[in-house]
Amino acid sequence: MADELDGILTVDFEPLGRRARVARGTTLLEAARQAGVGLNAVCGGTGTCETCRVRVVAGQVIPPFPPSPPSPPSPPSEYEGFWLACQTRVLSDVRVDVPPASVTALQRAQIEGRERRVELDPAVRWFDVASEPPSLSDLRADVTRLRDALPLPSGEGQEEVRFDHGVQCQLPALLRGQAWRARLVVQDGEVIAAMPVSTPPLGLAVDIGTTKLAAYLVDLASGETLAAAGAMNPQITYGEDVMARIAYAMGGEPRARELQRVLVGELDDLTHKLCAQAGRDVAEIVEAVLVGNTCMHHLVLGLPVEQLGLAPYVPVLADPYDLKARELGLRLAPGANVHLLPNIAGFVGADHVAMVLATGIHEACEVTVGLDIGTNTEISLAVGGPALSPSAPLGVNSAEGPALSRVEGRLLSCSCASGPAFEGAHIRDGMRAAPGAVEWVRLADGQVEYQTIDGAPPVGLCGSGVLDGVAELLKAGVVRANGAMKQGSHPRVRGAGSETEFLLVPTGERGAPHDLAITRKDVNEIQLAKGAIRAGIEVLLEEAGLKAEQIERVVVAGAFGTYLDVGSALAVGMFPPLPRERFVQVGNAAGIGAKMALVSRHCRRVAEEIARRVEYVELTTHPRFVEAYTAALMLPEPGEVIS
Amino acid sequence: MADELDGILTVDFEPLGRRARVARGTTLLEAARQAGVGLNAVCGGTGTCETCRVRVVAGQVIPPFPPSPPSPPSPPSEYEGFWLACQTRVLSDVRVDVPPASVTALQRAQIEGRERRVELDPAVRWFDVASEPPSLSDLRADVTRLRDALPLPSGEGQEEVRFDHGVQCQLPALLRGQAWRARLVVQDGEVIAAMPVSTPPLGLAVDIGTTKLAAYLVDLASGETLAAAGAMNPQITYGEDVMARIAYAMGGEPRARELQRVLVGELDDLTHKLCAQAGRDVAEIVEAVLVGNTCMHHLVLGLPVEQLGLAPYVPVLADPYDLKARELGLRLAPGANVHLLPNIAGFVGADHVAMVLATGIHEACEVTVGLDIGTNTEISLAVGGPALSPSAPLGVNSAEGPALSRVEGRLLSCSCASGPAFEGAHIRDGMRAAPGAVEWVRLADGQVEYQTIDGAPPVGLCGSGVLDGVAELLKAGVVRANGAMKQGSHPRVRGAGSETEFLLVPTGERGAPHDLAITRKDVNEIQLAKGAIRAGIEVLLEEAGLKAEQIERVVVAGAFGTYLDVGSALAVGMFPPLPRERFVQVGNAAGIGAKMALVSRHCRRVAEEIARRVEYVELTTHPRFVEAYTAALMLPEPGEVIS
Contact B317 A143 (CB under 8 A): yes
Least CA distance to A320: which residue of chain B?
B162
Selected for mutation to probe chain B from A132, A298, A313, A317 (highest B CB count within 10 Å) is: A317
Chain B residue numbers touching A249 (CB-CB < 8 A): none
Q: Are strands A447-452 and A493-494 parallel, antiparallel or unpaired?
A: unpaired
Q: How far apart are CA B275 and CA B270, in angstroms?
A: 9
Q: How far apart are CA A328 and CA A332, in angstroms?
A: 11
Distance from CA of A349 to the nearest CA of B (A): 12
CB atoms within 10 A of CB A421: 23
Query: A439 near A460, Cβ under 8 Å?
Result: no
Contact B142 A315 (CB under 8 A): yes
Residue type, A484: A
Contact B319 A141 (CB under 8 A): yes
pLDDT recorded at residue B100: 64
pLDDT recorded at residue A387: 38
**A105: which residues sit within 8 A by CB, 6+ positions away?**
A38, A434, A435
Contact B172 A306 (CB under 8 A): yes
> Among residues A460, A459, A440, which one has the least CA distance to residue A450?
A440
Chain B residue numbers touching A302 (CB-CB < 8 A): 165, 169
Chain A residue numbers touching B142 (CB-CB < 8 A): 307, 314-317
Distance from CA of B24 to the nearest CA of A (A): 49
Contact A304 B169 (CB under 8 A): yes
Which tens digit of pLDDT belongs to each residue from A565-592? 999 999 999 999 999 999 998 888 999 9
> Among residues B401, B299, B399, B406, which one has the least CA distance to residue B350?
B299
**A153: which residues sit within 8 A by CB, 6+ positions away?**
none
Q: Does A620 touch chain B (CB under 8 A)?
A: no
Least CA distance to B299: which residue of chain A?
A169
> Among residues B312, B233, B230, B318, which one has the least CA distance to residue B273?
B230
Q: How many helices (H) and strands (E) does chain B have?
A: 15, 29
**Partner A, chain B 174-193, Cβ-Cβ below 8 Å:** 176
Contact B165 A327 (CB under 8 A): yes
Q: Does A313 touch chain B (CB under 8 A)?
A: yes
Q: How far apart are CA A531 and CA A632, in angstroms?
A: 5
3-state secondary structure of B138: strand
Among B141, B302, B315, beta carbon nearest to A316: B141
Q: How far apart are CA B643 and CA B582, in angstroms?
A: 11
Q: How many helices (H) and strands (E) does chain A have?
A: 15, 29
Which tens digit of pLDDT belongs to each residue from A347-365? 899 999 999 999 999 988 8
Residue type, A349: G
CA torsion angle for B505, B509, B512, B513 (degrees, to 10)?
110
Q: Does A315 touch chain B (CB under 8 A)?
A: yes
Q: Give CA separation, B398 vs B404, B534, B576, in Å.
A: 11, 21, 15
3-state secondary structure B215-277: EEEEECCCCCEEEEEEEECHHHHHCCCHHHHHHHHCCCHHHHHHHHHHHHHHHHHHHHHHHHH
Q: Are strands B181-187 and B61-62 parallel, antiparallel or unpaired?
A: unpaired
Distance from CA of B304 to the nearest CA of A (A): 6
Q: State the greatest distance between any 2 C-alpha atoms of chain B, in Å, as a whole number.
A: 98
Q: Does A580 touch chain B (CB under 8 A)?
A: no
Q: Does A335 touch chain B (CB under 8 A)?
A: no
pLDDT beneath 50, residues of chain A: 1-5, 67-79, 105-111, 385-407, 643
Q: Does A327 touch chain B (CB under 8 A)?
A: yes
Q: Does A310 touch chain B (CB under 8 A)?
A: no
Q: How far apart are CA B614 and CA B345, in angstroms?
A: 10
Q: Does B318 touch chain A (CB under 8 A)?
A: yes
pLDDT recorded at residue B6: 53
Contact B141 A169 (CB under 8 A): no
Among A134, A317, A346, beta carbon nearest to B168: A317
Predicted TM-score (pTM) of this structure: 0.78
pLDDT recorded at residue B157: 78
**Number of Cβ pairs < 8 A linking chain A and chain B:** 108
Q: Does A365 touch chain B (CB under 8 A)?
A: no
Distance from CA of A536 to the nearest CA of B (A): 18
Q: How far apart are CA A364 and CA A354, in angstroms?
A: 15
Among A168, A303, A318, beta carbon nearest to B144: A318
Which tens digit of pLDDT belongs to each residue from B602-630? 999 999 999 999 999 999 889 999 999 99
Q: Does B618 touch chain A (CB under 8 A)?
A: yes
Q: Does A318 touch chain B (CB under 8 A)?
A: yes
Chain B residue numbers touching A169 (CB-CB < 8 A): 302-304, 316
Rounded to 5°, the CA angle B223-B226-B231 comes to: 120
Containing H/E element for B609?
A: helix B601-613
Contact B143 A171 (CB under 8 A): no
Chain A residue numbers touching B312 (CB-CB < 8 A): 134-136, 139
DSSP string, A515-553: -EEEEHHHHHHHHHHHHHHHHHHHHHHHHHT--GGG--E
CB atoms within 10 A of CB A598: 27
Among B142, B317, B616, beta carbon nearest to A316: B142
Chain A residue numbers touching B316 (CB-CB < 8 A): 141-143, 168-169, 171-172
DSSP A113: B
pLDDT beneath 70, residues of chain B: 1-6, 40-46, 48-51, 65-81, 100-116, 385-408, 639-643
> Among residues B277, B322, B282, B321, which one has the least CA distance to residue B193?
B282
Task: Enter the ipTM.
Answer: 0.77
Contact B303 A173 (CB under 8 A): no
